[in-house]
């Protein structure tokens, strides 16, 4: 039997709140066994960009990563946020190492081709291009990778990459070596049957259930990419995916009694 | 016989100049065998601090690292500069990993005690507190550490630390495992007999020669801490120290025909 590996992604709602972050990191450090943390950027990159006079640019609601923006996200995600998390984990007996995809070439990516829109320095990753042994070296030596949502093109450039996608891609890439469990922490307690009601968490979504939910048109549109991502990861070898509140999920990693389990 | 390990420190004159940096990294990547790069911060941290409205503060000519300043150096040294260097090295077949002292706990430090002056978030390092095995893991796996001048206090805080000191401390700490050669790259061709004359490089300084030079009062005052640092490293086990121009030194690592050799 393969060893269990938790791959946990946190978003801006945890990163932007010092108390929430500290509490999350305590729960994360307490998880026994192998684990990887992937963090998003939070609002601080936009705040620092504004102060530096770099405007956030969007085309059709999608962010463009131009020359100035890639410098800012490299500083903020790869420097400020990543090292703050690492230093805090080190102080609570978790031997963390902060990495971007360029470091030790753990996540090579491809700059998104320019079609109708030039997204700029954005990297698309594919699980099969990830050299799993590079990340495995850290896990085998009980070092806990903390990943910023940045990759590289192999030609000298850092690329901005969606943190959810990084999480699912490495979960898939490492699934041949480990029994990988992907945990998406977000601001809700799970996938909700009724988005207005925090107590309407759907505890299990399998494919028939998902088809039924889609037909009933009940789900909040924003959650659909996360669920699609989760099923894609499972089809590619990930054992299970959990979606929900950071604290609930991390304090119950052994019995999966919280959040929405996708199988 | 122990394996050779080059520990190479570059300063702002290389970091601040894209062409010089690119040329340096090409030479660095070409060095055969084990190597570690330590980079300073350059002027970009001050420039970004100015734009963000964070004033550089000095007491008696020495920089103070307050709360805002440590965030800026963490962003710029640990994020922007470090990841730019790593991505460029990855593109020229050098499997670099960018690290601060917090990452994998490679360089624990002590926050400088407040006496007459409160230097803020500044870290003092001692070679004997550096767990050499943590850095050794990377070297053994042919991963090339690229270190930002940042350490941590083990209590959750990143600390600002002089890059020259980091270089000499890790050279000492690793000298039990490797035949360590410390190379300080700076803006001159070496230690100059006459600071006005770039051709007056002193090719070898041993202790009697240094005593003589000090007596004759010939040396530029700014170079003295570097030489003292070098002798301290040699006394503690480092094989030799070279001081000089990046390009000269790196293109001649086998025969030591450039710069000033301190033995």
User: What local confidence, expressed as pLDDT, does residue B52 receive?
Assistant: 92
User: What local confidence, expressed as pLDDT, does residue B61 receive?
Assistant: 74
Handedness of CA B239, B245, B251, B255 (dihedral sign): negative
Interface membership of B237 toward A (CB under 8 Å) = no
Residues of B (61-80) whose Cβ lies below 8 Å from A: 71, 74-80
Q: Which CATH architecture has domain B4-262?
A: 3-Layer(aba) Sandwich (3.40)
pLDDT at residue A164 tops 70: yes
User: What local confidence, expressed as pLDDT, does residue B252 receive?
Assistant: 75
> Cα–Cα distance between A87 and B154 in angstroms, integer?
7
User: What local confidence, expressed as pLDDT, does residue A217 receive?
Assistant: 87
Do residue B83 and residue A96 have CB atoms under 8 angstroms apart?
no
Interface membership of A95 toward B (CB under 8 Å) = yes
User: What local confidence, expressed as pLDDT, does residue A195 receive?
Assistant: 82
> Cα–Cα distance between B149 and B132 in angstroms, integer?
17
Report which of A47, A31, A106, A108 is spatially closest to residue A80, judged by C-alpha positions: A47
pLDDT, chain A, mean: 93
Distances (CA, A) of A144 to A84, A136, A183, B79: 15, 10, 16, 19
Cβ–Cβ pairs < 8 A, chains A and B: 121
Mean pLDDT on A223-247: 92
pLDDT at residue A140 tops 90: yes
What percentage of chain A exceeds 70 in pLDDT?
98
Give the closest-approach CA distance of A221 to chain B in angstroms: 34
User: What local confidence, expressed as pLDDT, does residue B223 receive?
Assistant: 86
Do residue A51 and residue B48 have CB atoms under 8 angstroms apart?
no
> Cα–Cα distance between A246 and A235 in angstroms, integer?
24
User: What local confidence, expressed as pLDDT, does residue B194 receive?
Assistant: 86
Q: Which chain B positions have a beta carbon within 8 Å of A103's beta carbon?
A: 83, 86, 96-99
Do residue A102 and residue B82 have CB atoms under 8 angstroms apart?
no
pLDDT at residue A258 tops 70: yes
Do residue A141 and residue B143 have CB atoms under 8 angstroms apart?
no
Which band of pLDDT confidence, cut at 50, 70 and 90, is reported for residue B219? confident
Task: Name the pTM for this structure.
Answer: 0.96
Mean pLDDT on A102-129: 96
CA dihedral B85→B86→B91→B95, nearest 10 degrees, is 140
What percentage of chain B exceeds 90 in pLDDT?
78
Interface membership of A97 toward B (CB under 8 Å) = yes
Mean pLDDT on B99-116: 97
Mean pLDDT on A226-234: 92
User: What local confidence, expressed as pLDDT, does residue B251 receive?
Assistant: 81
pLDDT at residue B227 tops 70: yes
pLDDT, chain B, mean: 93
φ, ψ of residue B157 to 5 degrees: the values are -120, 135
Which band of pLDDT confidence, cut at 50, 70 and 90, is reported for residue A2? very high
Which band of pLDDT confidence, cut at 50, 70 and 90, is reported for residue A1? confident
- Least CB–CB distance from A87: residue in B80, B90, B152: B152
8 Å CB contact between A205 and A261: yes
User: What local confidence, expressed as pLDDT, does residue B255 receive?
Assistant: 66
**pLDDT tens-digit readout, B116-160:** 899 999 999 999 999 999 999 999 999 999 999 999 999 999 999
**pLDDT tens-digit readout, B228-249:** 989 999 999 999 999 999 888 8
**How many other C-beta atoms lie within 10 A of the C-beta of residue B207?**
12
Measured between CA atoms, the residue of chain B closest to residue A48 is: B52
User: What local confidence, expressed as pLDDT, does residue B99 receive?
Assistant: 98
Q: Is the ipTM of this complex over 0.90?
A: yes
> Cα–Cα distance between B77 and B196 in angstroms, integer?
32
What percentage of chain A exceeds 90 in pLDDT?
78
Measured between CA atoms, the residue of chain B closest to residue A137 is: B141
CATH number for the domain whose boundaries are A3-262:
3.40.1160.10
Instruction: Choose, out of B104, B142, B155, the residue to mutate when testing the contact with A (most A CBs < 10 Å).
Output: B104
pLDDT at residue A60 tops 90: no
pLDDT at residue A242 tops 70: yes
Instruction: Choose, out of B90, B94, B150, the residue to mutate when testing the contact with A (most A CBs < 10 Å).
Output: B90
Give the closest-approach CA distance of B57 to chain A in angstroms: 20
Measured between CA atoms, the residue of chain B closest to residue A141 is: B137
Q: What is the CA radius of gyration of chain B?
A: 18
Secondary structure string (H, E, C) spanning chain B: CCCEEEEEEECHHHHCCHHHHHHHHHHHHHCCCEEEEEECCCCHHHHHHHHCCCCCEEECCEEEECHHHHHHHHHHHHHHHHHHHHHHHHCCCCCEEEECCCHHHCCECEECCCCCCCCECEEECCHHHCCHHHHHHHHHCCCEEEECCEEECCCCCEEECCHHHHHHHHHHHHHHCCEEEEEEECCCCCCECCCCCCCCECCEECHHHHHHHHHHCCCCHHHHHHHHHHHHHHHCCCCEEEEECHHHHHCCCCCCCCCEEEC
Do residue A84 and residue B103 have CB atoms under 8 angstroms apart?
no
């Amino acid at each position: 039997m393969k060893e269990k590996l938790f791959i946990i992604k946190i978003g801006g709602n945890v990163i932007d709140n010092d108390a929430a972050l500290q509490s999350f990191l305590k729960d994360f450090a307490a998880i026994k066994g192998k684990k990887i943390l992937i963090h998003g950027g939070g609002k601080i990159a936009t705040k620092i960009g504004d102060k530096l006079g770099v405007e956030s640019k969007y085309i059709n609601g999608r962010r463009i990563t131009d020359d100035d923006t890639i410098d800012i996200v490299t500083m903020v995600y790869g420097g400020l946020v990543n090292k703050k998390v690492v230093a805090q984990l080190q102080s609570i007996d978790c031997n963390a190492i902060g990495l971007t995809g360029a470091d030790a070439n753990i996540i090579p990516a491809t700059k998104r081709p320019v079609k109708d829109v030039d997204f700029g320095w954005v990297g698309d990753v594919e699980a099969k291009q990830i050299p799993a042994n590079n990340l495995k070296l850290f896990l085998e030596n009980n070092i806990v990778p903390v990943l910023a949502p940045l990759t590289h093109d192999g030609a000298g450039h850092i690329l901005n990459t969606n943190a959810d996608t990084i999480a699912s891609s490495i979960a898939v890439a490492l699934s041949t070596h480990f029994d990988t469990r992907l945990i998406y922490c977000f601001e809700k307690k799970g996938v909700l049957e009724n988005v207005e009601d925090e107590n309407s968490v759907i505890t299990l979504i399998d494919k028939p259930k998902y088809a039924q939910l889609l037909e009933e048109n009940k789900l909040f549109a924003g959650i659909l990419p996360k669920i699609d991502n989760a099923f894609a990861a499972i089809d590619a070898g990930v054992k299970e995916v959990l979606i929900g509140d950071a604290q609930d999920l991390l304090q119950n990693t052994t019995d999966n009694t919280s959040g929405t389990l996708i199988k």
